[in-house]
Amino acid sequence: MRRPRIPVLALAADAVAVLVFAAIGRASHEEAGSVVGLLGTAAPFLVGTVAAWATPWVRAHPVGFRAGGLVLAGTAVLGLLLRAAFTGRLPVSFAIVATVSLAVFLLGWRGIAALTSHLSRRRTSVR
């Protein structure tokens, strides 16, 4: 894969992770499955994701765990603050579950990418 495509794919993976997070949350609360509702739930967190991606540290090494931590921090903190601003409340239990869930998704795909990259390098060095 050519290098310039990696940041685009990483940003797409982060956006998909946030959308999956929102979809699972909506499904667990038996909320209607509309696309508009999903986007409304995901929007504050997507804003946080975009804000994190605006930093040079994320763009420099988007697949790394440091970038993942920054994306997680931006997504969770800004997303929760925006959500609280719009809804007028922020239950601590929701903040904890949202942060842990986002960590699993945003760091999880990076872990899988690191593992497959490592295995691929190992396989080619054995030959």
Residue 71 has pLDDT above 70, yes or no: yes
Among the listed residues 66, 75, 90, the one whose alpha carbon sits nearest the alpha carbon of residue 20: 75
Three-state secondary-structure class, residue 61: coil
Predicted structure pTM score? 0.89
Q: How many CB atoms lie within 10 A of CB 13?
A: 20
Helices (H), the chain: 5-28, 35-53, 56-60, 65-87, 92-126
Confidence of residue 3 (pLDDT cuts 50, 70, 90): low
- The average pLDDT across 87-100 equals 96
Q: How many CB atoms lie within 10 A of CB 45?
A: 26
Residue 126 has pLDDT above 80, yes or no: no
Give residue-wise pLDDT tens across range 12-24.
Answer: 999 999 999 999 9
Q: How confident is the model at residue 15, as a pLDDT?
A: 98
Q: Is the CB of residue 58 less than 8 Å from the CB of residue 49?
A: no
Q: How confident is the model at residue 17, as a pLDDT?
A: 98
Give residue-wise pLDDT tens across range 43-65.
Answer: 999 999 999 999 999 999 999 99
- Structure tokens, 88: 């007028």
Sequence-distant (≥ 6) Cβ neighbours of residue 59 within 8 angstroms: 7, 53
Q: How many CB atoms lie within 10 A of CB 30?
A: 7
- Structure tokens, 93: 């239990």
- The average pLDDT across 23-39 equals 88
